[in-house]
Structure 1
Amino acid sequence: MTTILNAEMLGEVIRRERKRQKVTQSDLAALAGVGVRFLRELEHGKSSCQLGRTLEVLQTLGISVDANTREQ
């Protein structure tokens, strides 16, 4: 499990998994229903990327997201 603390870390996880699956940015964008430019910005950690589109990319790659609260 990887703890993601910022947009750059999320982008790295996406890029690493895309490359592991040997999928091009163009192919992933088409499969996820997003633009190549969006995917490129997402992989580079642009913090203004839209959450809904981001979740589509994650789902397409088979990456699950768990939300945990801070324990006090």
Structure 2
Amino acid sequence: MNNLSLNEYVKSKRKSLGLSREELALKAGVGLRFLRELEQGKETLKMDKVNQVLKLFGMQLGAMPMDRNNLIEP
């Protein structure tokens, strides 16, 4: 999964496992609305719930370097 965004990663993994959104939400213990928002790229999500989903894939949230060209300089 080369450099996919979080929402792209979750959606891709879910589909590769043949799971519906409803099935993944149930397995992860999160609501369907939350999973839908995660897959649609909502920018404000609870990290603990994101980690509940990622845990099913053997992953967790972590820090990544940013493209320095996108930083706002004072």
What is the alpha-carbon distance in structure 1 between the residues aligned to residue 41 and residue 58 of structure 2?
Answer: 17
Stretches of structure 1 lacking an aligned partner (at least 5 in a row): none
| Corresponding residue number in structure 1 for 2:38 | 42
User: Using CA pairs below 8 Å that are at least 6 residues apart, which structure has the higher relative contact order?
Assistant: 1
Quick one: which amino acid aligns to residue 17 of structure 1?
K
Q: TM-score, normalised by structure 1?
A: 0.77
1:20-66 alpha-carbon deviations (Å, 9 max, x no partner):
00001000001100000000000111011110000000111x14247
Map 1:1-72 → 2, pairs under 5 A: 2-3=2-3, 9-60=5-56, 62-65=57-60, 67=62
Stretches of structure 2 lacking an aligned partner (at least 5 in a row): 66-74
Question: Between Structure 1 and Structure 2, how many residues are aligned?
Answer: 65
After TM superposition, give the deviation of residue 2 of structure 1 in Å. 3.7
Quick one: which amino acid aligns to residue 54 of structure 2?
L
Q: TM-score, normalised by structure 2?
A: 0.75
What is the alpha-carbon distance in structure 1 between the residues aligned to residue 34 and residue 23 of structure 2?
Answer: 13
Q: From the two aligned structures, give the one with the greater helix fraction.
A: 1
What is the alpha-carbon distance in structure 1 between the residues aligned to residue 48 and residue 61 of structure 2?
Answer: 15
Structure 1 or 2, whichever has the larger Rg, is: 2
